[in-house]
Amino acid sequence: MNEVLKAVGNVFLKMPLGFVVTLRHFFKKPVTLDYPYKKKPMTPRYRGKHYLERYDDSTERCVCCGLCAAACPADAIYMEPEENEKGERRAKIYEINLLRCIFCGFCEEACPEEAIFLGQDYEFSDVNRNAFIYTKEEMLVKHPRKDNPFKRLYRRVRKVHGVTDKIS
């Protein structure tokens, strides 16, 4: 009998507490986003689609050293080197297979030239599997930018090691 009373008490006294919790949400702002129209800003370290950086004189930073391909746990990067008109080494073919890529960011970490970065873009669906093999042309930024990750990194390097002389 006691058990039954307790159960009845639970149903009529305790369960409405739960309904109150649910009801309170009628008067709160929704936490969801109207996704395709409104987007959540990603953090600066977000690991999205890769891109390749340029120097200020718009030559490519990548020298095709192959360290990113060596660091890649998924073996998603393929590259072949060549020389540009000034005799400098650069990539002739630079491909990332985004279907294999696991977005671990090891390539960005390995790159000694600060050429490859994982950007903020996470929307790259396609209907064609071949479209996921990103070539160098697709990944290179169009123009050198004022504020890019390697400049931020250089500022940090100068701060950490107390470098004061100007870079030419």
Partner 1 sequence: MSLEQKELTLNMGPQHPSTHGVLRVIVTLDGERVVKAVPVIGYLHTGIEKTMESKLYYKALPCTDRMDYLAPMSNNLGYCLAVEKLMEIEVPEKVKWARVCLAELTRIKSHLVWLGTHALDLGAMSMLLFTFRDREMIVDVYEACGGQRMMTSYIRIGGLSHELPPDFEKKVRRVIKEIPAKLNDYEDLLTKNEIFINRTRNVAVISAEDAINYGLSGPMLRGSGVKHDLRKANPYSGYENFDFEVPVGKKGDAYDRYLLRLEEIRQSLRIIEQALDGMPEGPYRAHVPGVVLPPKEDVLYKMESLIFHFKIITEGFKSPKGAVYQGIESPKGELGFYISSDGSNKPNRIRVRPPSFVNLASLPKLTEGGLFSDVVCAIGSIDIVLGEVDR
CA torsion sign for 30, 31, 33, 38 is: positive
Residue from 39, 42, 80, 89 that binds partner 1 (CB under 8 A)?
A: 42
Minimum distance between the CB of residue 25 and partner 1, rounded to whole angstroms?
8
152 contact partners, CB below 8 Å, separation of at least 6: none
Question: What does each C-alpha distance from 91 to 35, 94, 135, 140, 147 come to in angstroms?
Answer: 38, 6, 11, 11, 24
Window 141-160: residues binding partner 1 (CB under 8 A): 153-154, 156-157, 160
Applying CB under 8 A, the span of 13-21, 81-89, 127-135, 137-145 interacting with partner 1 comes to 13-21
Window 69-128: residues binding partner 1 (CB under 8 A): 70-71, 73, 102-106, 109-110, 112, 114, 118
How far is it, in rounded angstroms, from Cα 149 to Cα 142? 16
Question: What one-character DSSP code corresponds to residue 167?
Answer: P
Name the residues that contact partner 1, by CB under 8 A. 7, 10-11, 14-15, 17-18, 20-22, 31, 42-43, 45-47, 67, 70-71, 73, 102-106, 109-110, 112, 114, 118, 153-154, 156-157, 160-161, 163
